[in-house]
Amino acid sequence: PLRGAVRLRLLRVAPLARAGDVSAAERLPAGFWWGCVVNVLCLSGHQIGVLIPGYLAERGLQRWEIGLADGVFWLAALLVQPWIGPRLDREGPRRYLIGGALAMSALVLVYAAAPVRLGTVLPLRAAQGAAMAVYLTAAWTWAASLGRDEQLVRVFGYYGISGLLPNAIGPGLGEAAQAAGGYPAVWIVAAALELAAAALAVGMVDAGAGGRAERAAGAREPGPEFLTALRSPQLASAVVTALCFGVLTGSLTTFLGPFLLVVGLAGIAAYWAVYTAFSVAVRIGGMSLAERLGPERLIVVPVLLMAAGVLMVSQVEARGWLAIPLLLLGASTTGTGHGMLFPAFNALAVRRLGPAAR
């Protein structure tokens, strides 16, 4: 009878233990949410930068000059990748995350004193692009190092929410600061948010055991050069998707502000608020489905949604009273595509690479 009672008790306890094991497997890594707070603060400061093209236009730069300056921003962000990648492998991401946030904070204050002409704006935008790339590459390396492969869509999805919320927070804060104190107040608010992020990042946990083990494996196994990895057949679909995503989001962040000024609509904060709301809703509501389907099946539809949303925005000038509804419909469509696409192609790229190439 005693053995029977013990067996009965074990049978009662075993399902609870298994349930606990499942929840532990699904639990996001320790320190994850602290890193999300840091990301919200830093990128909220960065997203105040959507006011920069409008500021440059008001100060007399031509549209081609504004586009050239933004192109230099993104070119610098690209060129820094081969430099930052090996250092993240050797030293871990946290120190570069902090350094990138500090540089972003210092550089945005330069707008308060720098004269607005092409010769000063180009190097300033290049430096901002490099600083932003260091921060973002370190931040996403940190996030990827915390999760197991089967968690990557969820980790990228939820961490991506911390990168989406600033799309609503930053422009709104920027417009409020501009209304209260002009552009000097805009630069101060942006710098303060990025500085706060750098201070809080000191308390972030660095890459967990899995991330350290992966870096160690990568150090033992020589990895491909950056451009060689990009040309890998395993990455072809992820690279093409990233290029499409970059063109779409780059067009919005660079030209939406000046475009709305030209057509006489004061809706940039509302646009990004709606965009963010739909992106976040898709992440929260569809994350488990995304993990079940896998990233390979989630790429085509969101690319088309984002393209349709940008096309709607391009038509607001000729739509009269329909301009604002069309603008917000474009925001919701593009935001939905963003919410689905970004974690999918990042998870796809990471899953298809070995430890040395990651």
Per the CB < 8 A criterion, the answer to whether 298 and 341 are in contact is yes
Across all residues in the chain, what is the average pLDDT? Answer: 80
Distances from the Cα of 52 to the Cαs of 29, 46, 124, 267, in angstroms?
36, 10, 12, 16
pLDDT in tens, 276-286: 899 888 877 76
Mean pLDDT across the stretch 119-148?
A: 90
Residue-by-residue DSSP string for 243-255: HHHHHHHHHHHHH
**Other C-beta atoms lying within 10 Å of the C-beta of residue 183:** 18
- The CA distance from 106 to 201, in Å, is 17
Task: For residue 205, give both structure tokens.
Answer: 């946990």
Q: State the DSSP code for 94.
A: H
Residue 294 has pLDDT above 60, yes or no: yes
∠ CA 287-288-293, nearest 5°, is: 95
Q: What is the pLDDT of residue 208?
A: 44
Model confidence at 204: pLDDT above 70 = yes
| Most trustworthy range by pLDDT among 83-87, 137-141, 193-197, 261-265 | 193-197
Dump pLDDT digits (tens) for 320-335.
778 888 889 999 999 9
Spatial separation of the C-alpha atoms in residues 172 and 274, rounded to whole Å: 12
Within the chain, where are the H helices? 2-26, 32-47, 52-58, 63-79, 81-91, 94-108, 118-146, 152-201, 209-220, 226-230, 236-263, 268-293, 300-314, 323-351
Q: Is the pLDDT of residue 16 over 50?
A: no
Helices 118-146 and 323-351 cross at an angle (nearest 10°) of: 50
For residue 285, give the 3-state DSSP assignment. helix
Characterise 182 by phi-psi region: left (phi > 0), alpha (psi -120 to 50), beta (else): left
Distance CA(69)–CA(75), nearest Å, equals 10
